[in-house]
Amino acid sequence: MKDELPEVKASDAEREQYAEILRTGLAEGRLTMEEFEERLGAVYAARTRGELVPLIGDLPERAEPPSAPGARAPARAGRSWADRIGRPATSRGAIAVLGGFARRGGWTMPRRFRALAFMGGGNIDLREAAFEDREVTIRAIAIMGGVSVTVPPDVGVEVRGIGIMGGFDPTADREAAPGAPRVVITGLAFWGGVGVERKRVKSKKKRPEPGEGD
């Protein structure tokens, strides 16, 4: 079974977790900037878990990589908030320069997430996400670009951002339901915008029973 793992396709959340281990290695002086940039590029280009594992082989792991046996399964919509709060973060930031980024699916939102969109756009979707803590902060900088944040209906939201010829959407502000996390959105929008939307996860369409729709 272990030999089969390298052929498993890598997910965006897995690549982000390996990237975070590399960032920690750089901050601690274990990697030079040249090594860090080379490995980080290889992480984001990796297609399978087998390509990811060697990139951190000489670094201590702060969080168990998703490919390791026994790793916790990603959060899924429908689980209780108690199961989705208190997990290790899989991504702590994203940058879109003349392009875009997306964080969606079963990733884990950190206590503080930094997002930059410069003449580009970003999408932060928390509907299926887990959370590192019960209160998290998104610091969004949108310069001639935009960042959209999607949250489940029961998550609390507080928008504190500053808009200069741009703006932050405060219409989603709401107290959290009992047990649900709270998201604080702050930062700066200059000729750009940061929007917040409440949505439920789309349910799978029910297959028609035999004889239905005739």
72-101, pLDDT tens digit by residue?
444 444 567 888 998 888 889 999 999 899
Quote the pTM value.
Answer: 0.60
Q: Of 11, 199, 182, nearest to 102 (Cα)?
A: 11
Which regions of the chain are under pLDDT 70? 1-6, 61-79, 202-214
The label of the residue with tokens 């580009």 reads 120
Contacts of 202 (CB under 8 A, 6+ apart): none
Q: In angstroms, what CA-CA distances link 176 with 22, 127, 151?
A: 34, 14, 11
For residue 48, the 8-state DSSP code is B
Strand partners, 116: 95, 141
Q: What pLDDT sits at residue 193?
A: 94
Contacts of 22 (CB under 8 A, 6+ apart): 31, 36, 39, 40, 43, 55, 56, 59
Contacts of 164 (CB under 8 A, 6+ apart): 188, 189, 190, 191
Reported residue count of the chain is 214
